[in-house]
Amino acid sequence: MGRRKRPLPFIEKLEITDAGAEGKAVGRSNDRVVFVPFAAPGDVVDVQVFKKRKSYFEGRITGFHKKSNLREEPECQHFGLCGGCKWQHLSYDQQLIFKQKQVKDAFDRIAKVPYPEMLPIIGSDKQFYYRNKLDFTFSNRRWLTDLDTSKEDGGPENTNGLGFHLPGMFDKILDIDHCYLQRDPSNAIRLAVKDYALRNELSFYNVKTWEGMLRNLIIRTSTTGDLMVIVVFREDDQDRISGLMNFLANKFPEITSLMYVINGKKNDTISDLDIRLFKGNPFIVEEMPSPQTGEKPLRFKVGPVSFYQTNSGQAVKLYKTTYDFAGFSGDELVYDLYTGAGTIAAFIARSVKKVIGAEYVENAVADARENMILNDIRNTEFIAGDLAKIFDADFISKYGKPDVIITDPPRAGMHEKVVKQILNLAPAKVVYVSCNPATQARDIAILDAKYEVKKVQPVDMFPQTHHVENVVLLERRPTS
């Protein structure tokens, strides 16, 4: 007989002392760190461990002995199951304190370089309904909660749902009634599509067998009032597709861009597929105030797979911080690394001599070029390619030596080759925008060879979550 597994520990009266990585709160039991989602510093809780590692446990709350005075009643009925807003039980002021601490911890523990006192985090004017894009998933395997009336009378009539993946479960969907992340009519559209699908017996996707008609629903809103809806189908059944699309067009005349995709692949990516326009424009327009006094607002075309900062209001504050940190005099050559759709390039272009933008995703570079035409900006150039490969001596000889580098990499941070090339070029200033303070701190530790940290400005782009953006100004040290 094989050895029986020992039951995982049950920890009584665990005191929660901090907010930690990935939005999980932290306690200690017999010198072992315990990560607990949906807890708050100051809670005293009973915890059932569900994951055991050498240096830490992960557990879930089974009962409270004391509730923290930092707690607030969450707005959302789905809090605790949905992984989207893990900090909704903390007051917004406390969320900002913990986010600022997250940046400070990354600098102290990972970068280990001198830095000035951090500027107070820039909070979001909106704590709810701030996202301009949501992606919902259809599933014939929705999660059945204890409150689910369909659980009664011998089992559910149907298990179809439209909502978000449950954390750690690729095949289970939490059916969402009301989401507090995106403005109206986002909730109304999602509920109407689900109702139509059930009434007309359209099958919901099964990720295990790769069967089912309906796969995804993507909704994009903009500050200009434009509204994009994309329905992703698995099967090219034109009768059923046109039925649903006509229903949407008639019920929601405010939709300015109505599109659909046929995705017969096993993954959900649609950027490599033919996205078909059913009604309206193949894009929405986003608007952003220009940092230059007296200039008209910047306008950006946002297509179905375009990248645009998810919190439009905070994006302005993030870019304005970047712009101010760079302190342009007007004659600089600027490299904008990981430029995306060129939003930062457009934001700064009228204040510099030239901007060279580089980006891995070819679609984004196409968007960037179009956005420059839209704004009549003529002093930018964009290059598509993997920065680790293209950012070399030939690149520099072709485009010139930059006075300022702005870099806004993905969560993984910059490739070490890119960091070393920045050191090799040694521009006077580097402004590093990051959505992951840990990888930013790692890169800054390498840049410390020639640069000193002059300013650190955290920015909250995602209220109710643990995520935080950070902008750092690095200035080249004078050579002795």
User: Which CATH number goes with the domain that contains 161?
Assistant: 2.40.50.1070
* 325 plus 265 within the same structural domain: no
* 140 plus 120 within the same structural domain: no
Please give the pLDDT value at position 67: 94
In a domain, 266, yes or no: yes
* 360 plus 246 within the same structural domain: no
Please give the pLDDT value at position 2: 54
- Residue 408's SS3 state is coil
In a domain, 296, yes or no: no
Q: Residue 61: which domain range?
A: 10-71
User: How, if at all, do strands 451-459 and 469-476 pair?
Assistant: antiparallel
Look up the CATH number of the domain holding residue 448: 3.40.50.150
Q: Quick count: other Cβ atoms within 10 Å of Cβ 258? A: 21
CB 466 within 8 A of CB 128: no
* 362 plus 247 within the same structural domain: no
Q: How many distinct structural domains can be found in the chain?
A: 3
* 214 plus 327 within the same structural domain: no
Q: Is the peptide bond before 185 cis (omega within 30 degrees of 0)?
A: yes
Go through 400-423 and write b for each residue having 16 or more CB atoms within 10 A of its CB, e for each that does not. eebbbbbbbbeeebbbeebbebbb
What is the model's pTM?
Answer: 0.92
Please give the pLDDT value at position 54: 86
Which parts of the chain sit beneath pLDDT 70? 1-4, 21, 145-157, 480
In a domain, 82, yes or no: no
Please give the pLDDT value at position 285: 96
Q: Which residue in 76, 82, 85, 435 is the catalytic one?
A: 435
Please give the pLDDT value at position 145: 62
In a domain, 262, yes or no: yes
* 141 plus 29 within the same structural domain: no
CB-based contacts of 30, cutoff 8 Å, min separation 6: none
- Give the largest Cα separation in the chain, rounded: 81
* 317 plus 435 within the same structural domain: yes
Which of 55, 71, 87 represents a domain boundary (last residue)?
Answer: 71
Look up the CATH number of the domain holding residue 58: 2.40.50.140
Please give the pLDDT value at position 165: 87
In a domain, 297, yes or no: no
* 204 plus 266 within the same structural domain: yes
In a domain, 85, yes or no: no
* 119 plus 153 within the same structural domain: no
In a domain, 303, yes or no: no
Please give the pLDDT value at position 154: 52
Distance, CA of 338 to CA of 335 (rounded, Å):
10
* 154 plus 239 within the same structural domain: yes
Please give the pLDDT value at position 24: 87
| 435 tagged catalytic | yes
Please give the pLDDT value at position 81: 86
Span 299-330, pLDDT tens digits:
999 999 998 999 999 999 999 999 999 999 99
Please give the pLDDT value at position 89: 93
In a domain, 428, yes or no: yes
* 198 plus 330 within the same structural domain: no
* 169 plus 45 within the same structural domain: no
